[in-house]
Structure 1
């Protein structure tokens, strides 16, 4: 039986996450907690019996390091990895590097919420979620989906908003629905597809650091 499995993972906590900063295309590294989250994500997938044939990630350090730590726990450090800017976090423009509370005080809580969560609102000098989807979904269709349909078990480690755009596409969500989508650091989403390419099953796995 062909195993058409796609696992999406948000990177572990970064230093910008820890300080509640907008990251965008900034390139912070993981915190100690972020490392622990990535390691535990790999362990949890390993304990559930996951093995992968191919992985994809962005050009940003926090995603690449999360992937490397996960693969080490899976015993698959030599796995083929494809890196592409299409999977990068959305560009937050002038918000990048700002504390979220500082941004709310500067532009208003309502405006910042729109920039963070809505589909169409564009932060100054940055990308909307719709613009992020315009670069990510074609890449998914051209590079990732064919691998999954061919039965290659595929792991994608990326970012909160780039993955929101992909989840919106995979789940058939509306612009209103996607406002409610949030992925925790190192959260894993497991998709399994039928022979026609439709989603047959979806599972969400949160990292459990208790006892680690």
Structure 2
């Protein structure tokens, strides 16, 4: 059966968490928003209050759910429902969670000796991971699953009811969002963007992807023919109204969020110092 309509998906990175204030690996650690993070998401909600969301999907972790709640509370009645999914959680760091990160391995120590001493070096390759954790390759697989099992089913169901336009918010985490956007783009055979890097979102920033359902189905007849386009990325004008607290969290956050691509991390830290 042919389908048509346009679905907008707004990916929202959570506000600053208490773990963003510390030089540790966070991952699935379930810490709440910091004082600044609470201000960030309140400003975010106000800035998006004129954008009507049909549903809000959220990670189960508190920093993302609190962000989703702030967006929901600023919406006009009837307020959109929030649905949570474990698939929308951040990359887990396994045994490293709660422990400090170090930028480079210590000379003369094996990885096992690093771990025994509570030292967990930043990874620079997509296949690397800590014991019990996920690599970026693992995260990519989970992002594909989140798109196909969580986001798209809601998008397609809502588009049938609310044609011609549907809008979904997804409150999640920087590294996972950076994998979910390409996962969507890869479903569009005409897209030239799947290999673009979508890292660099600040706390409480958002990105928007539009999915135009043009009718027909792909080869396995599971998904309709779609045209996918990124219209906004790292939008954070709402932060201009907030007086930042003197926490020095920007550098710590950039390491946790962008580790795995050293050049990106350095560039992003430089951008944050300028902005």
Other-structure match for 1:146: 153
Q: For the structure 1 residues 76 and 188, does the alpha-carbon distance in structure 2 shift closer, same or farther, using more than 3 Å as the test?
A: farther
| Contact 1:29 1:62 (C-alpha < 8 Å) held by counterparts | yes
Give yes or no for the alignment of 1:127 onto 2:127: no
Work out whether residues 27 and 97 of structure 2, in 8 Å CA contact, stay in contact via their aligned partners in 1: yes
Paired residues, what number? 203
| Structure 2 residue aligned with 1:22 | 25
Which position in structure 2 is the counterpart of 1:92? Answer: 93
Assess if the C-alpha contact under 8 Å between 2:90 and 2:172 holds in 1.
yes
Residues 34-58 of structure 1: CA distance to partner in whole angstroms, max 9, x if unpaired?
0111111111222xx3111111111
Matched, 1:208 2:208: no
Structure exhibiting the larger radius of gyration computed from Cα positions: 2
Cα 1:24/1:9, change in 2 over 3 Å:
same
Using the alignment, how far apart are the partners of 1:27 and 1:77 within structure 2?
Answer: 29
TM-score, normalised to structure 1's length? Answer: 0.83
Name structure 1 gaps, 5 residues minimum. Answer: none
TM-score by length of 2: 0.66
CA gap of 1:38–1:201, structure 2 versus 1, over 3 A, is same
- Counterpart CA distance in 2 for 1:188 and 1:77 is 23
Unpaired runs of 5+ in structure 2?
A: 107-113, 116-120, 160-164, 187-193, 214-224, 243-275
Distance in 2 (alpha carbons) for counterparts of 1:201 and 1:86: 22
Summarize deviations over 1:22-72 as a string: whole Å, max 9, x none.
Answer: 1111101100110111111111222xx311111111111111011101211
Take 1:9 and 1:161, find their aligned partners in 2: how far apart are those partners?
12
Which of the pair is proportionally richer in helix?
A: 1
